Amino acid sequence: MSQFFTEAVLIATVASGIRLAVPLLLASLGETYGQRSGVLNLGVDGIMLLGAFGGYYAVLETGNVWLGLLVGIGIGILLGLATALISVTLRAEQGISGIGVYLFGLGMSDLLFQRLVGTPTPISKFPKLDIPGLSDIPWLGEMLFQHSIIVYVAFGLVPFSMFVINRTVFGMKIRSVGENPEAADSLGVSVAKVRYATVTIGGMLAGVAGAALAIDLGIFQQNLTNAQGFIAIALVYFGAWRPLGVMAGALLYGFVNALVLQFKTLGIIPQSWSDIAAMAPAVITILALVVVARRFRQPAALTKPFTRGA
């Protein structure tokens, strides 16, 4: 245990916690938009997997990580639109249709990987961007300001989303559609249009999250996300549907994961117990859900499809 409490190890653990939080943060911020408007997208993990493969493949072929992100965005938008079609237009049971999207993404990303790539080949990763001045601060600089651009973008999206949801007309529409679609509809807000927009934003961010994960790791493999998409959905509940709360949850996860990884490398957790340690995120989530469910109320129209005049 003592080898954990050294300066270098502690700093590295915090920095890697922040890095590991990024895909979760991106995906759960996206999911926040959808849920605030009343749509539960359970297919996030499937979208992330396809975004991850798309991003990986683009970088493998071109060597350009930004193009990889762009492909992730494109795939995310397409699947977000498909999800909106399923849950808004066709009014499917959201708890189940998302599982279908997940299975599709899980199978399809693996299929494409086997057909187009075959053997796992590493790709180039994001370049690091040291923030001038700030990155030289002892301790803090290394923890916070020596990351790749995607890390800053992801955390920058937190205040941006707070502004959009709480301070803009679009945000007001999102909230009203999620709380009382009948009232919003009677005021001339198109429930369907708002939900299409939020679910597509959610899909886009899930796609980016997947691409960011693959490019950050520099590889792709079957089931790369390992259920991170589902954790991201739970984080939205954990964060009580607020971007800041979602960020806190994502960071908590990042740190727990970084800690478990670090403990494993240092041999503090024996190899045979690593499966038990891997339960930690899911167990913490369940406990967190119990706490949150007592104190916060979910958007009133969550998972309820809207029909005019029904």
Please, what is the minimum distance in Å from the beta carbon of residue 46 to other proteins? 7
Looking from the CA of 66 toward its CB, the CA atoms found within 13 Å total: 3
Given 201, 285, 299, 301, the residue binding other proteins (CB under 8 A): 285
Amino acid (1-letter code) at residue 199 = V
Rg over CA atoms, the chain: 20
Continuous H helices in the chain: 7-36, 44-62, 65-84, 94-116, 140-144, 149-167, 169-179, 181-186, 191-217, 228-238, 243-266, 274-277, 280-295
Given 95, 120, 156, 159, the residue binding other proteins (CB under 8 A): 95
Nearer to other proteins, 6 or 223 (CB): 223
What do you get for the CA distance between the two ends of the chain, in Å? 61
169 part of the interface to other proteins, by CB under 8 A: no
Binding characters for other proteins, 199-238, by CB under 8 A (x = yes): -----------------------xx---x--x--xx--x-
Given 4, 160, 163, 273, the residue binding other proteins (CB under 8 A): 273
Given 213, 298, 299, 306, the residue binding other proteins (CB under 8 A): 298
Cα–Cα distance between 110 and 99 in angstroms, integer? 17
Please, what is the minimum distance in Å from the beta carbon of residue 290 to other proteins? 5
Helix (H) or strand (E) holding 146: strand 146-148
Helix (H) or strand (E) holding 130: strand 128-130
302 closest CA partner among 217, 198, 213: 198
Cβ neighbors of 107 (< 8 A, separation 6 or more) are none
Nearer to other proteins, 167 or 308 (CB): 308
Nearer to other proteins, 1 or 290 (CB): 290
Place of tokens 């999102």: 174
92 closest CA partner among 106, 105, 82, 79: 82
Given 5, 96, 188, 267, the residue binding other proteins (CB under 8 A): 96
92 part of the interface to other proteins, by CB under 8 A: yes
256 part of the interface to other proteins, by CB under 8 A: no
- DSSP letter for 128, please: E
Nearer to other proteins, 148 or 285 (CB): 285
Given 63, 111, 134, 186, the residue binding other proteins (CB under 8 A): 111
Please, what is the minimum distance in Å from the beta carbon of residue 12 to other proteins? 26
Given the rule CB under 8 A, which residues bind other proteins?
Answer: 40, 42, 46, 86, 90-93, 95-97, 99-108, 110-111, 114-115, 222-223, 227, 230, 233-234, 237, 272-273, 275-276, 278-279, 281-283, 285-286, 289-290, 293-294, 298, 305
